[in-house]
């Protein structure tokens, strides 16, 4: 075969493979079996290997995964990526309709009689923006802060429901949701548990983890899917949301076909309630529905407010609840020595998962709920993620239930337990407590710290138990020979782990600060410290006074940081890091603050939020221009209090800080 013949054959193969992909992944109408599809791909691969200059950007072989990238690049969105305002009740939905009708009446001089809606399922996945030029995929980016996202093109091309070339040669920007099928999610967690790695809390986290891999082969292994629902830039205007969804399908995109065109708000509410009951029957997670004004002309009149379109609304599902029995209550010891009671439950199905554990936060919470071993309790998964006990049923007691006593000895090392003044938490007093050492190491290598690939909790525990490491610095002295012979470690696995550790000797300053596990210094405070001091050396030299000048640092946090750097054990550890070349890169300059209702404001979150996760609430604060703090001080502007708020709520009352409940917070950021 000469080169011209090869070029023509490559062209034909790409067209054939793409057409089969479109029929299988978009139309759900497979025309051939997998063997035929695989044979076409093998033929294309052979031609690309023989004629390397015939490789094209729209080649379906890009989906297999290319070479790993050194780092993610940033992409500035051409079209701002808006989020939706939320509704949680029928009253909220009807109030939204009344608001938009009033707005249209004000702008048009009359209430439109032909206003109708499209209602779609709200897929619980990762928002992705695709940009096409002349029909060929140019970039794929995450939402990020709405203005700037991360370039994840190398991973998104591995998803079969993402067309590499459209069925028309046009310039277009499309938005959608990447998600992980529930069976794949369950299998992935089983594999992670076998490997000693922590299980993903939900498919959204697993999907996000797959997309944010530097190695596209790992993303391809996740078997991700995607639904596409919005054209934010098109060559010609599209008259309605209904026509836009049909246009997406015609271009080659996979659209969730459960959407409906409805005439009244009553039909919207029926759709919402129907899917709330059957959401667990699909292979993807759904956390609500989205209602959109159908007519584009009315969308244009309604426009946007703050960070959300007036013409759309996300209607969330209620948190799932169930009843079960408390089999036992045991105590976990965290990296700071804090003792946390955890309830072991009879298995109960909630949000499509089996729940067997629920946190009780602290012993004051046990007293407040009057929870006992053997009790029948109500359990809730707020936001489909966090299991918690919300009520005990004393009337169902048999007389065999047992009260849980407050421990005054550490359950791990037997040392005395202390309770600092003004805190509800109990702490192990032993600095050498095994549980503290283990949890500190797990914290150090975790996703917000050094994020070392392949180094999960069980492997860290194994290394500590075998005496191969005593502290985090020892990780960077390991050689493959140290691991050979350990259970579960073949030679190749040992080499890969040692290489992964060596590759993470340098991380960003905020990651390094967070990884050290300084008491009271969470992820947000670490970012604030990194942005303020810019180098680790400056941070080490800081006094209580200079630390208190940082936006997220109060007297207690400042004192904790100073004490950490004065502690002899920590001085030795930091010295070992320096000798090994382990440490921080220079911190990046902070991005300009977003203008919004919380511009320049400091916000603290406490308690359990019902309608969003803690991370989602943080994202809303930042999107509104605010800064999230981990502690309450005189510098705090707002405290957002969810269910069962802790000591932060009490301190806010003492200092006269404005306290918002969840609904007030949502109204403020909307």
> Is 337 a residue whose pLDDT tops 70?
yes
Residue 213 confidence (pLDDT)? 79
Residue 484 confidence (pLDDT)? 83
Q: Is 265 helix (H, G, I), strand (E, B) or coil?
A: helix
> Is 292 a residue whose pLDDT tops 60?
yes
- Phi, psi torsion values for 303, nearest 5 degrees: 65, -145
Helical segments of 352-488, H only: 363-369, 434-445, 457-465, 480-483
Tell me the average pLDDT across 287-295.
Answer: 95
Q: Which two tokens stand for residue 504?
A: 């993470």
The confidence band for 593, taking pLDDT boundaries of 50, 70 and 90, is: very low
Which of 74-88, 89-103, 639-653, 656-670 tops mean pLDDT? Answer: 89-103
Question: Taking a C-beta distance cutoff of 8 angstroms, is the pair 548, 629 a contact?
Answer: no
Q: Is 353 helix (H, G, I), strand (E, B) or coil?
A: strand
Question: Taking a C-beta distance cutoff of 8 angstroms, is the pair 377, 393 a contact?
Answer: yes
Tell me the average pLDDT across 424-445.
Answer: 93
Cα–Cα distance between 648 and 557 in angstroms, integer? Answer: 14
Residue 380 confidence (pLDDT)? 86
> Is 589 a residue whose pLDDT tops 50?
no
Which is higher by pLDDT, 365 or 53? 365
Which is higher by pLDDT, 654 or 197? 654
Residue 120 confidence (pLDDT)? 97
Query: How do residues 239-281 score in pLDDT, each as one tens digit?
Result: 999 999 999 999 999 999 999 999 999 999 999 999 998 888 8
Residue 21 confidence (pLDDT)? 65
Cα–Cα distance between 73 and 301 in angstroms, integer? Answer: 36
Question: Taking a C-beta distance cutoff of 8 angstroms, is the pair 289, 280 a contact?
Answer: no
The confidence band for 64, taking pLDDT boundaries of 50, 70 and 90, is: low
Which is higher by pLDDT, 49 or 434? 434
**The total number of residues written for the chain in this structure:** 670
Domain ranges (residues) in the chain: 3-56, 86-316, 320-406, 602-669
What are the distances in angstroms from CA 648 to CA 69, 70, 129, 218?
A: 42, 41, 38, 41
Tell me the average pLDDT across 19-42.
Answer: 66
* Closest CA relative to residue 598, chosen from 618, 578, 575, 572: 618
Instruction: Quote the mean pLDDT of the chain.
Output: 86
Query: How do residues 613-645 score in pLDDT, each as one tens digit?
Result: 777 788 788 788 888 887 788 888 899 988 767
Q: Which two tokens stand for residue 279?
A: 């959401």
Q: Which two tokens stand for residue 224?
A: 């991700």
Query: How do residues 441-480 score in pLDDT, each as one tens digit?
Result: 999 999 889 999 889 999 999 999 999 999 999 999 999 9
Question: Taking a C-beta distance cutoff of 8 angstroms, is the pair 587, 516 a contact?
Answer: no
Q: Which two tokens stand for residue 246?
A: 């049909």
Cα–Cα distance between 225 and 156 in angstroms, integer? Answer: 10
Tell me the average pLDDT across 405-429.
Answer: 93
Least confident of 46-60, 94-108, 218-232, 405-419: 46-60
CATH class belonging to 3-56: mainly alpha
Cα–Cα distance between 626 and 473 in angstroms, integer? Answer: 36
The confidence band for 29, taking pLDDT boundaries of 50, 70 and 90, is: low
> 177 has which bridge partners?
127, 227
Least confident of 179-188, 346-355, 369-378, 574-583: 346-355
Residue 487 confidence (pLDDT)? 87
Question: Taking a C-beta distance cutoff of 8 angstroms, is the pair 118, 229 a contact?
Answer: no
The contacts of residue 658 (CB under 8 Å, 6+ apart) are: 637, 638, 639
- Phi, psi torsion values for 65, nearest 5 degrees: 110, 125
CATH (one of 2.40.50.180, 2.40.50.140, 1.10.10.10, 3.40.1180.10) for 320-406: 2.40.50.140
Cα–Cα distance between 434 and 585 in angstroms, integer? Answer: 31
The second-level CATH assignment, the architecture, of 86-316 is 2-Layer Sandwich (3.30)
Residues annotated as catalytic are 122
The contacts of residue 401 (CB under 8 Å, 6+ apart) are: 372, 373, 374, 375
Beta-strand relationship, 602-606 and 627-629 = parallel
Question: Taking a C-beta distance cutoff of 8 angstroms, is the pair 508, 588 a contact?
Answer: yes
Cα–Cα distance between 299 and 311 in angstroms, integer? Answer: 6
Query: How do residues 106-159 score in pLDDT, each as one tens digit?
Result: 999 999 999 999 999 999 889 999 999 999 999 999 988 777 888 999 899 989
What are the distances in angstroms from CA 538 to CA 530, 535, 547, 587?
A: 10, 6, 11, 12
What are the distances in angstroms from CA 25 to CA 163, 207, 444, 476, 569?
A: 10, 18, 41, 45, 57
> Is 205 a residue whose pLDDT tops 60?
yes
Least confident of 24-28, 118-122, 416-420: 24-28
**How buried is 366 (Cβ within 10 angstroms: 0-12 exposed, 13-18 middle, 19+ buried)?**
buried
The confidence band for 307, taking pLDDT boundaries of 50, 70 and 90, is: low
Question: Taking a C-beta distance cutoff of 8 angstroms, is the pair 5, 50 a contact?
Answer: no
- 602-669 adopts what CATH topology? Rossmann fold (3.40.50)
Tell me the average pLDDT across 639-663.
Answer: 82
Query: How do residues 361-397 score in pLDDT, each as one tens digit?
Result: 899 999 999 999 999 999 987 554 568 899 999 999 9
Beta-strand relationship, 417-418 and 426-428 = antiparallel
């Amino acid at each position: 075969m000469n080169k011209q013949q090869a070029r023509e054959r490559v062209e034909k193969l790409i067209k054939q493979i793409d057409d089969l992909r479109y029929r299988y992944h978009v139309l759900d109408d497979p025309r051939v079996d997998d063997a035929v599809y695989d044979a076409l791909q093998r033929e294309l691969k052979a031609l690309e290997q023989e004629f390397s200059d015939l490789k094209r950007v729209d080649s379906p072989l890009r989906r297999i995964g290319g070479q790993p990238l050194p780092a993610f690049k940033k992409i500035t969105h051409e079209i701002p990526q808006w989020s939706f305002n939320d509704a949680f009740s029928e009253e909220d939905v009807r109030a939204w309709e009344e608001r938009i009708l009033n707005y249209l009446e004000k702008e048009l001089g009359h209430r439109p009689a032909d206003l109708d809606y499209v209602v779609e399922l709200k897929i619980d996945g990762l928002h992705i923006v695709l940009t096409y030029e002349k029909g060929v995929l140019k970039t794929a980016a995450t939402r990020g802060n709405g203005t700037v996202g991360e370039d994840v093109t190398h991973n998104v091309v591995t998803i079969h429901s993402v067309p590499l070339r459209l069925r028309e040669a046009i310039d277009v920007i499309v938005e959608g949701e990447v998600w992980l099928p529930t069976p794949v999610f369950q299998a992935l967690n089983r594999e992670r548990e076998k490997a000693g790695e922590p299980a993903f809390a939900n498919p959204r986290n697993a999907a996000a983890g797959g997309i944010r891999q530097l190695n596209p082969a790992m993303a391809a292994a996740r078997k991700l899917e995607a639904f596409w629902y919005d054209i934010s830039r098109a060559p010609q205007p599209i008259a309605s949301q209904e026509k836009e969804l049909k246009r997406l399908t015609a271009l080659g995109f996979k659209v969730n076909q459960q959407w409906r065109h409805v005439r009244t708000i009553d039909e919207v509410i029926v759709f919402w309630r129907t899917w709330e009951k059957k959401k667990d029957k699909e292979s993807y997670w759904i956390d609500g529905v989205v209602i959109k004004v159908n007519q584009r002309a009315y969308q244009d009149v309604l426009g946007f407010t703050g960070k959300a379109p007036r013409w759309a609304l996300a209607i969330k599902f209620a948190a799932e609840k169930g009843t079960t029995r408390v089999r036992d209550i045991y105590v976990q010891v965290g990296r700071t020595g804090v003792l946390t009671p955890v309830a072991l439950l009879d298995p109960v199905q909630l949000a499509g998962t089996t729940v067997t554990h629920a946190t009780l936060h602290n012993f004051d919470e046990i007293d407040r709920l009057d929870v006992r071993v053997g009790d029948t309790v109500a359990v809730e998964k707020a936001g489909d993620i966090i299991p918690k006990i919300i009520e005990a049923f004393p009337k169902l007691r048999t007389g065999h239930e047992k009260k849980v006593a407050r421990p005054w000895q550490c359950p791990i090392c037997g040392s005395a337990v202390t309770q600092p003044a003004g805190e509800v938490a109990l702490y192990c007093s032993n600095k050498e407590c095994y549980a503290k050492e283990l949890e500190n190491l797990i914290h150090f290598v975790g996703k917000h710290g050094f994020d070392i690939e392949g180094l999960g909790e069980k492997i860290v525990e194994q290394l500590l138990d075998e005496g191969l490491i005593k502290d985090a610095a020892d990780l960077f002295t390991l050689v493959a020979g140290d691991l050979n012979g350990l259970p579960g470690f073949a030679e190749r696995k040992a080499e890969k782990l040692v290489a992964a550790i060596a590759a993470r000797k340098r991380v960003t300053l905020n990651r390094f600060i967070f990884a050290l596990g300084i008491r009271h210094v969470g992820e947000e405070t670490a970012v604030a410290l990194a942005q303020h001091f810019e180098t680790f050396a400056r941070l080490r030299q800081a006094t209580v006074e200079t630390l208190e000048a940082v936006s997220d640092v109060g007297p207690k946090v400042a004192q904790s940081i100073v004490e950490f750097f004065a502690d002899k054990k920590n001085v030795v550890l930091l010295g070992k890091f320096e000798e090994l070349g382990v440490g921080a890169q220079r911190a990046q300059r902070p991005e300009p603050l977003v203008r919004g209702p919380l511009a320049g404001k400091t916000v603290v979150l406490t308690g359990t939020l019902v309608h969003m996760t803690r991370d989602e609430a943080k994202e809303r604060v930042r999107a509104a221009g605010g800064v999230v703090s981990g502690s309450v001080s005189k510098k705090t502007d707002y405290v957002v209090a969810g269910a069962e708020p802790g000591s932060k709520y009490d301190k806010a009352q003492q200092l006269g800080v404005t306290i918002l409940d969840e609904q007030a917070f949502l109204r403020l950021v909307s």
